[in-house]
């Protein structure tokens, strides 16, 4: 039971938060004349000594005695300054108050770290999007070639999700005020659940990002090539370069979802205030935050070191991907889109039937058999660069639109 009950081997990582909380608590005991100024300074001196032992890795955990970080710190404090004074620190508080406070303090700092890693990931997106603005590749729906887009447009689509994640995370930080109900103060773990819910959504974005890049890094696509540092070889097949970094990012999302769901099961149906079940928040929370931080940093590394192959991207573009542009051309000549869609579809099948390499090879005469509104200027349509530049509304893939998206996120990051 002793072993089953104790949490010291994992909650010891909150030692700094526990000592910070105790120092603040001692100060408030003095402010209320419960301890003298001398006692306060002795308590602070003792707590600082305990801190130094943890920080220098010399704190000796007493097996079977130190159940958790709170009991361990109190036991050691008593040895250092005497149990008479150390015993006064616990006036009016319970370990339940300590653990609720410590977890918040610890998590606030940890979320700060995740936040700054996420900012780095976004900066990596902005940097690449700016540097590779000229690269055009296929955009996909159903994983089938759809229309040409800028690679930077793809990058900014993911930056968009990550920016939402950042905004949501930033509103979770901080210790804005006291909790207005003591029963809630001691038992609330919504902030733990919320962190993992946040992490779940964030990792689903990360996983989709990774999945795209895994596909783009295959020999068949070849749009991107991962740096050696973020890929591995095969123990059997010498030619292989596997995107392990991306696969782990994709895989670890499942782990975060599981931790989130697991803790929700723990929370639901708990009777009011503290129950020991709540100790089960620590391991998933510690593991989830570690995973989130590591994953964000790895993703930044992957993105900032990969190389893109503009030639392969261009080679993947086919003229039929301009069928929508051909339909749009006729719209500008006054034909209703429903009809132009049909005409353009007929052009694609005609080119196929005639064994031509694309709709650009049909020539004006054959196009005119499909619709008399086709003119000499139709040949301008068969140009990928022009196609992306035509998409110039807000959120579009034209250069100025992508530049605007980059600027917007830059402004947000500066704020
Ligand atoms: N280690 C415990 C936790 O993480 C501290 C609270 C124990 N309180 C108690 N009354 N048994 O929740």
Query: Do 181 and 207 fall within a single domain?
Result: yes
Ligand 1 pocket, CB under 6 A: 7, 11, 68, 95-96, 99, 276, 278-279
List residues with catalytic annotation: 142, 234
pLDDT reading at 238 higher than 70: yes
Q: How many domains does the chain have?
A: 3
Query: Do 253 and 235 fall within a single domain?
Result: yes
pLDDT reading at 175 higher than 70: no
Q: Percentages helix, strand, coil for the chain, rounded to the nearest 5? A: 70, 5, 25
Nearest to 68 by CA among 117, 13, 26, 27: 13
Beta-bridge mates of residue 380:
none
What's phi and psi for 235, nearest 5 deg? -70, -20
Provide the 8-state DSSP code for 271: P
In a domain, 390, yes or no: no
What pLDDT score does 237 carry?
Answer: 84
CA 21 to centroid of ligand 1, rounded, Å: 16
CA 41 to centroid of ligand 1, rounded, Å: 27
What pLDDT score does 389 carry?
Answer: 98
Q: Average pLDDT of the chain?
A: 96
Average pLDDT over every residue of 56-61 = 98
pLDDT band at 172; cut points 50, 70, 90: low
pLDDT band at 293; cut points 50, 70, 90: very high
User: CA-to-CA distance for 217 and 176, rounded, in angstroms?
Assistant: 45
Q: Where is the domain boundary, 71, 93, 115?
A: 93
Query: Do 277 and 326 fall within a single domain?
Result: no
Query: Do 82 and 144 fall within a single domain?
Result: no
pLDDT reading at 192 higher than 90: yes
Report ipTM for this prediction: 0.92
What pLDDT score does 171 carry?
Answer: 76
CA 138 to centroid of ligand 1, rounded, Å: 55
CATH number of the domain that residue 187 is part of: 1.20.200.10
In a domain, 396, yes or no: no
Average pLDDT over every residue of 77-86 = 98
pLDDT reading at 34 higher than 90: yes
Q: Best of 279, 280, 283, 285 to mutate for ligand 1, by most ligand atoms within 8 A of CB?
A: 279
For 2-16, how does the pLDDT look when each residue is reduced to its tens digit (9 = 90+)? 999 999 999 999 999
pLDDT reading at 173 higher than 70: no
Question: Tokens representing 358?
Answer: 């694309």
Query: Do 89 and 214 fall within a single domain?
Result: no
In a domain, 395, yes or no: no
This prediction's pTM = 0.93
Domain that holds residue 371: 319-382
Average pLDDT over every residue of 140-149 = 96
């Amino acid at each position: 039971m002793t072993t089953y009950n104790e949490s010291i081997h994992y909650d010891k990582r909150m030692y700094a938060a526990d000592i910070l909380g105790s120092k603040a608590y001692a100060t408030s005991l003095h402010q209320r004349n419960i301890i003298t100024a001398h006692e306060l300074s002795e308590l602070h001196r003792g707590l600082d000594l305990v801190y130094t032992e943890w920080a220098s890795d010399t704190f000796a955990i007493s097996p079977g005695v130190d159940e958790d970080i709170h009991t361990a710190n109190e036991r050691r404090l008593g040895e250092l300054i005497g149990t008479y004074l150390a015993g006064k620190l616990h006036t009016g508080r319970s370990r339940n108050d300590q653990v609720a406070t410590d977890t918040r303090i610890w998590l606030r700092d940890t979320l700060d770290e995740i936040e700054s890693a996420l900012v780095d990931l976004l900066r990596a997106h902005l940097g690449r999007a700016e540097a590779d603005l000229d690269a055009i590749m296929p955009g996909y729906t159903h994983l089938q070639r759809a229309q040409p887009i800028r690679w930077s447009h793809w990058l900014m689509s993911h930056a968009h999700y990550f920016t939402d994640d950042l905004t949501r995370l930033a509103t979770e930080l901080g210790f804005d005020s006291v909790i207005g109900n003591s029963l809630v103060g001691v038992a609330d773990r919504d902030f733990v659940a919320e962190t993992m819910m946040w992490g779940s959504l964030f990792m689903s974005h990360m996983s989709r990002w990774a999945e795209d890049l895994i596909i783009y890094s295959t020999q068949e696509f070849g749009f991107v090539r991962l740096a050696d540092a973020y890929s591995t070889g095969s123990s059997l097949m010498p030619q292989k370069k596997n995107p392990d970094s991306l696969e782990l990012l994709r895989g670890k999302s499942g782990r975060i979802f599981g931790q989130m769901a697991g803790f929700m099961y723990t929370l639901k149906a708990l009777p009011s205030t503290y129950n020991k079940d709540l100790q089960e928040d620590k391991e998933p929370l510690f593991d989830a935050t570690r995973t989130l931080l590591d994953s964000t940093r790895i993703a930044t590394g992957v993105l900032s070191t990969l190389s893109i192959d503009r030639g392969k991207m261009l080679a993947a573009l086919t003229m039929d991907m301009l069928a929508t542009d051909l339909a749009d051309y006729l719209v500008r000549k006054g034909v209703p889109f429903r009809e132009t869609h049909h005409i353009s579809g007929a052009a694609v099948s005609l080119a196929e039937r005639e064994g031509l390499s694309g709709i650009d090879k049909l020539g004006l005469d054959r196009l005119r058999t499909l619709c008399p509104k086709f003119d000499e200027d139709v040949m301008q349509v068969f140009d990928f660069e022009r196609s992306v530049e035509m998409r110039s509304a807000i959120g579009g893939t034209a250069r100025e639109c992508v530049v605007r998206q980059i600027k917007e996120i830059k402004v947000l990051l500066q704020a």
